[in-house]
Each structure stands twice: as C-alpha cells, then as structure tokens.
Chains A and B, each alone.
Chain A
Amino acid sequence: MIKVLVVDDEENIRLLYREELEDEGYAVTVAANAKEALEAFRSTPFDMIVLDIKMPDMDGIELLRIIKEENKDIPVVLCSAYGRYKQDFRIWACDAYVVKSADLDELKLTLRQVLSA
C-alpha cells in the first residue's frame, strides 16, 4: 500500500484528507505540525508527503526544504489555501502545488500523476 503523510494544522482538514485518501486506497498518516511531521518522516519511510503551507510553528515551505535536504527523492505535494505561493521561488523543490478546494478530485489526480512520474 502506498504510504502518504498528510501535514495540516487543521483537525477537520486532516480528517477529511485521511478519509478521502484512504478511500482511494492510500495508507494515510497525519501530522498536525512540523514537529510531528518530522518525527513521522524520520521514523517511517513514506511514498509521498502532502504539506499545508501556512502552519503556526514552521511553515510548509521550510518543512519542504528540510525534508528535501534529508531525502530529495521523496515526492512532496504542497497544498494550500493560498494561490500566491505558486510564484514563490522557494517552492521549486516541490513536486506539485494544489490550491485547496472542497472538491478533492484535483488533489487526488495530482497525487496519482506525481507517483507515476
């Protein structure tokens, strides 16, 4: 089973993503902040990470940098309510960027594309 780590500071979003992605057949682990995320990332090998950008302790962009420094091969998908980070040069290392929506079809499609790339 494909193992996905979902990092988001909002509990409801975590729940929604977990359920939706599990329905798609992924094994989902969730983390509520950067600290939890790094602990999970360093203890378990994941096939893919979905990162929220705006989080209280460390933002997803910084987390992306740390993750890619430690394992540049792991695909990371940024998923944010903000569209404007698309133009931020610091996200160059991410594999895809999805703007959050209640319709999760785009996210699901993106995950499939990133995995098959």
Chain B
Amino acid sequence: MIDDHLGLEILKEISRIASSTLDLDETLEQIIQIIKNKMRIDAIYLAEDPGNLLHLRASSGLPLEASGQVKLELGKGVTGWVAEHKCSLALPEAMQDPRFVLFPEIQEERFSSMLSVPILFDEACIGVINVHTLDRREFSAVETAIVETIANQVAGALRNALLFHNSQRLLKEQTILYDIGLAVQTTLKLEHGLWVILSGITMGEAGGFNRAMLFLLNEKNHSLDGEMGIGPDSEEDASRIWAEWGKKKVDLLNWIMVEADKDEFKHSRFNRFVRSLSFPLVGEGNILTETALQKQPFVVSDPHQHPLVTREFIETLGVEAFATVPLIAHETALGVILVDNRYNHRPITQEQLRLLTRFTTHASWVIENTRLFGKLLDTNQELLSTKEQLIEKEKLAALGVVSAELAHEIRNPLVSIGGFARRLEDKLRKVSAEHTGIEDLEKATEYSNIIHTEVNRLEQLLKNILLYSQAGALNLEEASINEIIDETISIFKSGLYGKNINVNYEKCDNLPALFIDRQKIRQVFINLFYNAMDSMPEGGELSIETRTQPESHPPDHVTVRIEDTGGGIPQEAFQNIFNPFFTTKSSGTGLGLSICRKIVESHGGTIHIVNNIGSGITIFIHLPLQKPADYYKN
C-alpha cells in the first residue's frame, strides 16, 4: 500500500504545503489532493476544538455528501476510539472489532480492513486519518509508522493554519469591534448606538446572526420591554438584504454612520413588532426574564424541549434555535438581547456566541452611559430650577420683610382711624337717638360706619400679609390631621349648609400623627375651604379625603385631597394661582393660596392643584411623616 518511497514523497508534499500557505481551507484542500492522488487514505476527520466532535472534513472513495455532514462523538466507533485514546489502530477485520460502529452515511461496510491514526498536537488529538482497504489485509509496522508520520506532518500544517486562521479571525473581530465602538462613541443618540450594536450582531462579517432583539428593563413596570429589533421582515427580505450586504464592500464604520442617520430601521415591521412586546418580571418567568434575573446567557437548540420556553413564546417570536444574553453594567441587569438564525437555519456556533458577548458588553455600556448622561442632564435641570426657585424664594422673602414692616407701620394709624371711627359712630348714634329727624346726623353716622368697615377690611389684609411673611416660624407638635379637618369642617358647617354645599369626608382611620403647627395647618384648610365655598355659589360637592402614601408600608407621607365642583379655573389664571397678590375674586387679598403653599412647604410638604376646567379643582397636600428638618422652623 504505502512503501518508503511513496511515504517520503507524501511527506515532502505535505511539508511543501506547510511552507506555502497559511490558509486553513487551502491547507486542507491541498492535503486532500495529495491524499487522493498519492495514497488510498479514505477519510480525514478534524476536531475544531480538541475534545469536541470530530467532523469529516475530507475524504476520497467515500460518498461525497458525507463530507461536512458526518460528526463523530469522541469515543464512538473506531475513529472516536482512536481520537479518545490518541493511539493508532490497525484492524484487518474492522467490522468484527467490538469498537466498530456502522455509520450508514459513510458506507464503511464495503471495506474489510482499516488503519486509523490520530493527528496529535501538544498531547491533544485534533483529528484522525483513516485508511480503508476493500480486501482483507494486515498493516505492517512500517506502514503504520508512515501514516503516523504523515499525520504528524498534517498536524503541523493544520496547527499552523489553525493558529493563523484564529489570529486572522481575532484581528477581524477586533477591527469590527473597534469600528463599532468608534461608531457608538460618535453617535449621541441612544437608539443610534443600540442600532449600531444590533447591526453588528446581525452583519454577516461580524456577529452573523439573522435577527437580534433588544429588551430593556422597565423598573417602573417591572417588565422587560422590547426596545429594538434588527433583522429582515421576511424570508424574501432576508435574502435581498444579504445579497446587498454581500455586494457592499464599503468601509464598515462609514456605512454604519450613514445608515444610522437615516433612521430607516425604526420603520421596519420587525422593529415595530419587537417594540410591541413586553414581558412581566414577576410571576411565571420565561427565558428572557430569567436571563435578566439570573444574569446568565442561555443557548436553546431545541426550544420545544426547554423548560423556560412556552409554545406561545415560540409562536410569538417565531424562534427555532436561539440564544439570550443579559446586558449588565455595574453588576445590574439592564436588559436582554435575543438572537437567532431564523432564515438560514444555521446552528449557533461558539464563535458567534463569543462575539455576541462582546457586543452585549458594548451595548450595556452604551445604555449605561446614556442613562448616566440623562441623569446628569436631569440633575443639571434640577439645579437650574432649584436656583430659579431660590431666587424666587429670596424675592418673596424680601417682599415678605418689606410688607411686614409696612404692615406694622400702617397698623398703628389704622387702629386710630378705625378706633375713632367707631367712637364717632357710637357718639353720633347717641346724638341721633336724642335728636331724631336730622338728616345730616344720620348721614354722618353712616359715613363713620363706612370708615370703620373699610378699616376692618384693611386690617384683614394686613393680617394676611403678616401671616404670609411669618409662615416660616412653626410651632410643631404632634397632631392628628383628621382632627384638624374635623374642626375646620365644623367652623364652616353653617356656611356650607347655607350655600347648599355637600361635604363628603373620607377619613383614613389609622392615619399616623404628624409633627405640625396645628394653627398654621388649620389656616391652610380654612383658606382652601373659603376658596372652595366661593367657587360654588350655587351649591355643589366638597370632597375631602385623607390617606397615607405610599399605601404599602411603611408610608412616608400623608396626603389630603380636597376636591370641589366649582368649575375649575381659567387656564391663564391657573398659572398664577400660587403667586402672592394674585386673585380671581372681586374681593380678596390674593394671598390665600400662597399662604397655604408657604405653610405646607415650611412643613417639608408639597401642595399641588389639578385644574379640571368645567368640573372643578382638586388639591393634593402631601405632608411628610417625619419631623420637618430644623431649618424649616425659622
């Protein structure tokens, strides 16, 4: 079969290949040619990773279709045994050997004898060379040694080509990742960054998946929501896109940048479909939510057998074999990427998965950076508005100081004017009682009455201004908000009844006590009830409700809702309702609501108003359960 001469010739040829090319496929091809031409070696099996499946990569004299299709497990059959034990096996009666397993697609049953030699490198078996003969024969020690030597040479050539192949692949991968990284950094919009990454995952020269779907964690709704889907809409679309990609030999980075700006991806049916999906994180988990919760990738080769995959899930997403990878930043799951090969049905390879993991790392940081950037913007905005509020507060405080001083200066002369007007009126009344029928006397009595009534009004205004400017000083004590509301309702009872206004009070019974200034909080309700009453001259409904919030434990504040049916406030007036001295009433100081807000805010609480034009307004007052900070007291 093989003599020394042929052996030498084969070895020479193989060493020539090893020094002429580094391309893996070419090396293999040439080795096969030598095998075909020079000797009756029938099959060469290679394992892509030592210890993994053996693939029939080349053969002569075996059915053509067997090449590339046949995969042998380690230890299975004669070939598997040789790979596992890393030693040659010469079998004159191959089929009689207990290790023999018949693989119908190889049609080995035609052969009688068989020599199987491992291709070894660094103690690892990277393949097997088999020699079959139709006639029964013994293999001499020399023949075995020659085939082993060939195997050694093949190992060397293959190893070199493999190393080269891997380093080329890594280089390409690095270039793509670099390009994509650069593209991601160049785009400012989150969706563009994500699009670049998902495109990378699906592009033939990079990740090579058919479809990629991105789901992001929605913390508010506790769900995983579809964010983006990249992939063809249909089978026809798929072949068209791949054909186009195949033709495009443009710079990847440029191509990405141009395409991202077009925003076309947003309109694809597939993208819209993915965006319509949402999976709750609580309750019965599925593979997507488990990927996020366990922060673990999953590779599902048969979804019908997988415990975390329901039939509904398969039908909705139209998946066969697929993989899921979590997006993680700072050890927190941000979302999940799901990939599959729906259209070309290729199995998901280790290489694809490894690349996918790299892409997802990129995606995680894109999302995290955008999130942080958004947070930064928010904080900045908050700072700006806080600054504006501070300026506004300072202005108001200055106004408060000025008006307080002014109020005091005005108060003394008012006391004199009003006091003497009263006395005057009293005296005039006495005189007119004695001398009836003097018209001027009656007029004078009336005039002095007008003076003291107007002074009363001015004094009321001053009281409000002083109240407003002093709302900050709190006299805190433990008090029940329900009690204060009860008291206020009883003050208003006859007034409300007279105006035909129904009071509907929903009291929360186990409301915790608050640290508040009883008088000032009562003032808030008094002002609000006055407003409500004034807004419903023809009668209506005043609803009051107290509750804790959040309603789950432990609550952090108490909310009071006050709702009237007074028709609401015109929109242009609504913007000013908290401004001091603004009023929609014909009589009034315009301080009522600003006093309310000042008092509530000095308690560390908030007040806001919902204006339902046509029906009425709803006021929400939130008061914190913990004691207001010391600085609120002054």
Give the interface SS of chain B, mostly helix, strand, loop or mixed.
helix
Q: Is B348 an interface residue (CB 8 A)?
A: no
8 A Cβ contacts from B574-630 to A: none
Q: Spell out B's residues near A (CB within 8 Å).
A: 408, 411-423, 452, 455-456, 459, 466, 470, 473, 475
Task: Give the residues in chain A near B418, CB-CB below 8 Å.
Answer: 101-103
Q: Is the CB of A16 within 8 A of B423?
A: yes
Task: Choose among B408, B420, B470, B475 the residue that contacts A16 (Cβ–Cβ < 8 A).
Answer: B420
Task: Choose among A16, A87, A100, A103 the residue that contacts B411 (Cβ–Cβ < 8 A).
Answer: A100
Task: Give the residues in chain A near B422, CB-CB below 8 Å.
Answer: 102-104
Q: Is the CB of B419 within 8 A of A16?
A: yes
Given A16-B419, A16-B420, A16-B423, the answer on whether A102 and B414 have CB atoms closer than 8 Å is yes
Task: Choose among A10, A13, A83 the residue that contacts B470 (Cβ–Cβ < 8 A).
Answer: A83
Q: Is the CB of B416 within 8 A of A16?
A: yes
Q: Is the CB of A100 within 8 A of B415?
A: yes
8 A Cβ contacts from A55-111 to B: 81-84, 87, 100-104
| Distance to closest chain A CB from B594 (angstroms) | 18
Q: Is the CB of A20 within 8 A of B419?
A: yes
- 20 of the cross-chain contacts (CB-CB < 8 Å) are A10-B412, A10-B416, A12-B413, A12-B416, A13-B412, A13-B419, A19-B423, A81-B412, A83-B466, A83-B470, A87-B473, A100-B411, A100-B412, A101-B418, A101-B459, A102-B416, A102-B419, A102-B452, A103-B459, A104-B419
Task: Choose among A12, A20, A81, A87 the residue that contacts B408 (Cβ–Cβ < 8 A).
Answer: A81
Task: Choose among B411, B423, B466, B470 the residue that contacts A20 (Cβ–Cβ < 8 A).
Answer: B423
Residue of B nearest to A9 (CB): B412
| Distance to closest chain A CB from B426 (angstroms) | 9
Task: Give the residues in chain A near B452, CB-CB below 8 Å.
Answer: 102
Q: How far is the CA of A95 from the CA of B62 in the complex (A)?
A: 119
Task: Give the residues in chain B near A81, CB-CB below 8 Å.
Answer: 408, 411-412, 415
Apart from A12-B420, A81-B415, 17 more pairs, CB < 8 Å: A10-B412, A12-B416, A16-B423, A19-B423, A20-B419, A81-B411, A84-B473, A87-B473, A100-B412, A101-B459, A102-B414, A102-B415, A102-B418, A102-B456, A102-B459, A103-B422, A104-B422
Most buried by A among B411, B412, B421, B470: B412
Residue of B nearest to A100 (CB): B415
Q: How far is the CA of A19 from the CA of B426 in the complex (A)?
A: 12
Q: Is the CB of B470 within 8 A of A102?
A: no
Task: Choose among B416, B456, B473, B475 the residue that contacts A103 (Cβ–Cβ < 8 A).
Answer: B456
Q: How far is the CA of A100 from the CA of B418 in the complex (A)?
A: 11
Q: How far is the CA of A13 from the CA of B412 in the complex (A)?
A: 8
Q: Please, how many residues of chain A have a CB less than 8 angstroms from a CB on the other chain?
A: 17
Residue of B nearest to A10 (CB): B412
| Distance to closest chain B CB from A9 (angstroms) | 9
Q: Is the CB of A84 within 8 A of B456?
A: no
Q: How far is the CA of A84 from the CA of B455 in the complex (A)?
A: 22
Task: Choose among B415, B455, B466 the residue that contacts A13 (Cβ–Cβ < 8 A).
Answer: B415
| Distance to closest chain A CB from B63 (angstroms) | 104
Q: What are the nearest 8 A-B pairs in CB distance?
A: A102-B418, A12-B416, A81-B411, A16-B419, A81-B408, A102-B419, A102-B455, A100-B415
Task: Give the residues in chain A near B414, CB-CB below 8 Å.
Answer: 102
Residue of A nearest to B466 (CB): A83
Q: How far is the CA of A16 from the CA of B414 in the complex (A)?
A: 12
Task: Give the residues in chain A near B419, CB-CB below 8 Å.
Answer: 13, 16, 20, 102, 104
| Distance to closest chain B CB from A7 (angstroms) | 14
8 A Cβ contacts from A8-54 to B: 10, 12-13, 16, 19-20, 54
Q: How far is the CA of A103 from the CA of B463 in the complex (A)?
A: 14
Q: Is the CB of A102 within 8 A of B412?
A: no
Q: How far is the CA of A10 from the CA of B455 in the complex (A)?
A: 18
Task: Give the residues in chain B near A20, CB-CB below 8 Å.
Answer: 419, 423
Given A81-B408, A83-B470, A87-B475, the answer on whether A101 and B423 have CB atoms closer than 8 Å is no
Q: Is the CB of A101 within 8 A of B415?
A: yes
Q: How far is the CA of A10 from the CA of B408 in the complex (A)?
A: 13
Q: How far is the CA of A83 from the CA of B473 in the complex (A)?
A: 12
Q: How far is the CA of A87 from the CA of B416 in the complex (A)?
A: 26
Q: Is the CB of A102 within 8 A of B417?
A: yes
Q: Is the CB of A13 within 8 A of B423?
A: no
| Distance to closest chain B CB from A6 (angstroms) | 13
Task: Choose among A16, A82, A83, A87 the residue that contacts B415 (Cβ–Cβ < 8 A).
Answer: A16
Q: How far is the CA of A104 from the CA of B415 in the complex (A)?
A: 9
Q: How far is the CA of A5 from the CA of B556 in the complex (A)?
A: 54
Task: Give the residues in chain A near B421, CB-CB below 8 Å.
Answer: 102
| Distance to closest chain A CB from B405 (angstroms) | 10
Residue of B nearest to A52 (CB): B412
Residue of A nearest to B475 (CB): A87
| Distance to closest chain B CB from A32 (angstroms) | 14
Residue of B nearest to A80 (CB): B408
Residue of A nearest to B419 (CB): A16
Q: How far is the CA of A19 from the CA of B411 in the complex (A)?
A: 19
Q: How far is the CA of A102 from the CA of B422 in the complex (A)?
A: 8
| Distance to closest chain B CB from A30 (angstroms) | 14
Task: Give the residues in chain B near A19, CB-CB below 8 Å.
Answer: 423
Q: How far is the CA of A23 from the CA of B411 in the complex (A)?
A: 23
| Distance to closest chain B CB from A97 (angstroms) | 14
Q: How far is the CA of A3 from the CA of B626 in the complex (A)?
A: 51
Most buried by B among A19, A100, A101, A102: A102
Task: Give the residues in chain B near A103, CB-CB below 8 Å.
Answer: 418, 422, 456, 459
Q: Is the CB of A13 within 8 A of B475?
A: no
Q: How far is the CA of A100 from the CA of B411 in the complex (A)?
A: 8
Task: Give the residues in chain A near B416, CB-CB below 8 Å.
Answer: 10, 12-13, 16, 102
Q: How far is the CA of A54 from the CA of B452 in the complex (A)?
A: 25
Q: How far is the CA of A20 from the CA of B419 in the complex (A)?
A: 9
Task: Give the residues in chain B near A13, CB-CB below 8 Å.
Answer: 412, 415-416, 419
Task: Give the residues in chain A near B415, CB-CB below 8 Å.
Answer: 13, 16, 81, 100-102
Task: Give the residues in chain A near B411, CB-CB below 8 Å.
Answer: 81, 100
Q: How far is the CA of A48 from the CA of B223 in the complex (A)?
A: 76
Residue of B nearest to A84 (CB): B470
| Distance to closest chain A CB from B556 (angstroms) | 29
Task: Give the residues in chain A near B473, CB-CB below 8 Å.
Answer: 84, 87
Task: Give the residues in chain B near A101, CB-CB below 8 Å.
Answer: 415, 418, 459
Q: How far is the CA of A102 from the CA of B420 in the complex (A)?
A: 8
Task: Give the residues in chain B near A82, CB-CB below 8 Å.
Answer: 408
Q: How far is the CA of A19 from the CA of B424 in the complex (A)?
A: 12
| Distance to closest chain B CB from A80 (angstroms) | 9
Most buried by A among B417, B419, B423: B419
